[in-house]
């Protein structure tokens, strides 16, 4: 028998191998010095861990506490995520590129500032609908937290200077004058958040980035993805993400008190030159080894993927709903609050707050 | 006569409170123990355990996936624990930053252990420095789960569990031994 992998040796140590394999392996180890040494090594590390981890944590004393039947968001979530609000109010360059579709491309790309060149863009990704994709981070085959450390893009404004999009506090009238779509107000607001209101408007931003095959390869390798087949046309291609102005109305007292965030925007677009075979790219991503089958199934099921903003959510937190007569997405989480997303007449709407699901839907349907 | 998990879970889906209570009592201690390994603090572990069962109550597993209740509960609990720790770390980082939005409220901070056995706390700290799936693999292994069961929670084959454990333990040892050089914060040791 050939020298087994470490996983098998470990299983052997744990008594997890079936009898016949166990005997076979024992015989091999007796004859193979390398494996015997490897086994000793494993045993030592395993004993180190066991000595410390096998100690049970402080034993749970006493009777099992009563289960608190759920009361919808009584008193608000315990821990409020400032991160969503941070992204909205600081509009950091990377945070403004929304959606897993764009995020997956960012993983693949080497990001460097380039001058905008006049190009013929064939494929334009635009948000027309939302799809929630449940992702269990512990199941991903790579360390997804590494994505936080990607090189950040430089934002190239038309004038050629590098600048993040500006966020200003404005009146509703100023915003209406600056935007190219009509602003809609929510007629209904939960009592707990009416009163204080602030309006923020971000400038638009455009990011151009080009792909360098070698750098992309390195980025993928560092995330644990080897031999990813980058489509030929991607090398040297320039992609442009456009984030139009975002108008945000903040009600209530974020983040510690009851609050509601109402977002209106045209939605980001991603322009890809026709030399890039986006279908091939999508197939390559879906074919990544060890992607959870369930995740692949969900992604494949998205028919209109060029116009679908994919929102990653933990399992069990989303609902497909109808809002204002169009399909929308509701995401709720006891810690993070509730969000409702939908697109109507070319405008993306979002509501986010710590009111109940029903309250939020009521607000959403009261918008006109 | 004890009812099987799948019967009980079917009951929960139909809104049967007794079925839910039976599952709650059946799995509470295990879920709590796993969470204690991660967060190390009683209040937080209880809170997160309640959250875990709240999810079971609200959206019980079934349909096409995972009818294995134990595995599902472990997975949810470990994710919640991992997220809570990460959020606490981030909050800590933000609070140390100058111009940030003030975060009000009295929130139990699971990363702050109060009176804990020092050794246990060292172990826990090392554990929480690992990637989520490694943390889960170790917690589950030392909860006494077999490879097949661990595989079910993590969504990998039983054969792959051995490899994950090897890597996880190696990293655990490394993190544990380097703790003396760990960055400061609220967990500074005397």
Query: Residue B162: enclosing H or E segment and its boundaries?
Result: helix B158-177
pLDDT band at A92 (very low <50, low <70, confident <90, very high): very low
Residue of A nearest to B46 (CA): A65
Query: Which pLDDT score is estimated for A230?
Result: 74
Residue A39 has pLDDT above 90, yes or no: yes
B15 touches chain A (CB under 8 A): no
Task: Test A45 with B166 for CB contact under 8 angstroms.
Answer: yes
Task: Test A11 with B46 for CB contact under 8 angstroms.
Answer: no
Task: Residue window 206-245, chain A: list those with CB within 8 Å of chain B.
Answer: none
Distance, C-alpha B130 to centroid of its chain: 13
For A79, which of B57, B107, B165 is closest by C-beta distance? B107
* Backbone φ and ψ of A65, nearest 5°: -65, 155
Number of neighbouring beta carbons within 10 Å of residue A235: 16
Query: Which pLDDT score is estimated for B87?
Result: 79
Task: Test B103 with A82 for CB contact under 8 angstroms.
Answer: yes
Query: Which pLDDT score is estimated for B188?
Result: 37
Average pLDDT, chain A: 69
Query: Residue B39: enclosing H or E segment and its boundaries?
Result: helix B17-39
Tokens at A119, concatenated:
């190009």
Chain segment A128-138, per-residue pLDDT in tens: 555 555 555 55
Residue A66 has pLDDT above 60, yes or no: yes
- The contacts of residue A247 (CB under 8 Å, 6+ apart) are A175, A179, A183, A199, A200, A201, A263, A264, A265
Task: Test B136 with A138 for CB contact under 8 angstroms.
Answer: yes
Residue of A nearest to B31 (CA): A60
Task: Test A57 with B40 for CB contact under 8 angstroms.
Answer: yes
Task: Test A139 with B154 for CB contact under 8 angstroms.
Answer: yes
Chain segment A23-36, per-residue pLDDT in tens: 999 999 999 999 99
CA distance B26 to chain A (A): 10
A166 touches chain B (CB under 8 A): no
Pick from A59, A138, A296 the residue to mutate for testing the B interface (most B CBs within 10 Å): A138
A68 touches chain B (CB under 8 A): yes
Residue A93 has pLDDT above 60, yes or no: no
From chain B, the residues in CB contact with A316 under 8 A are: 55, 58-59, 76
Chain segment A235-250, per-residue pLDDT in tens: 767 777 777 888 888 8
A15 touches chain B (CB under 8 A): no
Query: Which pLDDT score is estimated for A133?
Result: 58
Distance, in Å, from the CA atom of A96 to the CA atom of A88, rounded to the nearest integer, reads: 8
User: H helices within chain A, ranges in order?
Assistant: 6-13, 19-31, 33-53, 82-90, 100-108, 172-178, 213-222, 278-286, 293-300, 357-365
From chain A, the residues in CB contact with B25 under 8 A are: 64
Residue A13 has pLDDT above 80, yes or no: yes
Residue of A nearest to B139 (CA): A53
Residue of higher predicted confidence among B120 and A324? A324
Number of A to B CB contacts under 8 A, please give it.
152
B68 touches chain A (CB under 8 A): no
Chain segment B64-109, per-residue pLDDT in tens: 454 688 989 999 999 888 888 887 777 777 666 533 334 332 333 4
B85 touches chain A (CB under 8 A): no
pLDDT band at A315 (very low <50, low <70, confident <90, very high): low
Residue of B nearest to A137 (CA): B132
Q: How far apart are the first and last CA of chain A?
A: 72
Query: Residue A240: enclosing H or E segment and its boundaries?
Result: strand A238-243
Residue of B nearest to A49 (CA): B169
Distance of CA A120 to CAs A61, A123, A274, Å? 69, 9, 7
């Amino acid at each position: 028998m050939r020298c087994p992998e470490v996983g098998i040796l470990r299983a052997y140590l744990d008594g997890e191998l079936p009898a016949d394999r166990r005997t076979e392996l024992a015989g091999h180890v007796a004859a193979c010095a390398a494996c015997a040494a490897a086994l000793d090594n494993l045993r030592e590390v395993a004993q180190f861990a066991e000595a410390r981890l096998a100690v049970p944590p402080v034993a749970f004393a006493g009777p099992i506490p009563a289960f608190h039947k759920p009361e919808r968001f009584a008193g608000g979530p315990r821990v409020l995520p400032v991160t969503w609000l941070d992204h909205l109010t600081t509009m950091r360059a990377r945070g403004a590129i929304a959606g897993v579709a764009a995020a997956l491309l960012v993983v693949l790309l080497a990001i460097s500032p380039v001058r905008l060149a006049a190009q013929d863009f064939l494929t334009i990704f635009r948000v027309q609908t939302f799809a929630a994709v449940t992702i269990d981070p512990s199941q991903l085959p790579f360390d997804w937290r590494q994505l936080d450390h990607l090189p950040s893009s430089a934002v190239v404004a038309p004038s050629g200077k590098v600048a993040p999009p500006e966020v200003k506090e404005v009146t509703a009238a100023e915003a209406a004058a600056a935007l190219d779509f009509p602003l809609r107000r929510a007629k209904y607001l939960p009592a707990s958040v009416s009163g204080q209101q602030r309006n923020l408007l971000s400038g638009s931003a455009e990011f151009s980035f080009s792909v360098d095959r070698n750098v992309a390869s390195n980025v993928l390798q560092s995330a644990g993805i080897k031999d990813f087949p980058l489509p030929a046309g991607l090398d040297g291609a320039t992609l442009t993400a456009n984030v139009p102005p975002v108008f945000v109305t903040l009600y209530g007292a974020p983040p510690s008190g009851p609050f509601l965030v109402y977002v209106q925007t045209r939605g980001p677009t991603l322009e890809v030159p026709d030399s890039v075979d986006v279908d091939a790219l999508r197939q390559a991503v879906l074919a990544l080894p060890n992607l959870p089958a369930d995740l692949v199934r969900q992604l494949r099921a998205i028919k209109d993927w060029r116009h679908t903003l994919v929102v990653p959510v933990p399992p069990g937190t989303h609902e497909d709903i109808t809002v204002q007569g169009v399909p929308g997405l509701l995401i709720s989480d006891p810690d993070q609050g509730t969000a409702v997303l939908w697109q109507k007449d070319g405008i993306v709407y979002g509501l986010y707050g710590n009111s109940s699901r029903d309250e939020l839907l009521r607000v959403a349907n009261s918008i006109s | 006569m004890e009812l099987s998990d799948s019967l009980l879970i079917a009951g929960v889906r139909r809104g049967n409170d007794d079925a839910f209570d039976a599952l709650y009592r059946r799995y509470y201690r295990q879920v709590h123990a796993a969470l204690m390994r991660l967060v190390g603090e009683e209040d937080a572990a209880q809170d997160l355990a309640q959250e875990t069962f709240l999810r079971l109550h609200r959206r019980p597993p079934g349909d096409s996936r995972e009818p294995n209740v134990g595995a599902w509960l472990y997975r949810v609990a470990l994710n919640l624990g991992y997220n809570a720790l990460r959020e606490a770390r981030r909050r800590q980082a933000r609070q140390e930053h100058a111009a940030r939005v003030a975060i009000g409220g009295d929130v139990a901070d699971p990363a702050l252990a109060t009176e804990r056995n020092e050794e246990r706390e060292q172990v826990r700290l090392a554990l929480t420095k690992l990637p989520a799936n490694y943390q889960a693999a170790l917690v589950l292994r030392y909860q006494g789960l077999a490879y097949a069961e661990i595989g079910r929670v993590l969504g990998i084959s039983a054969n792959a569990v051995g490899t994950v454990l090897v890597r996880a333990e190696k990293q655990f040892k490394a993190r544990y031994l380097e703790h003396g050089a760990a960055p400061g914060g609220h967990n500074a040791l005397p």
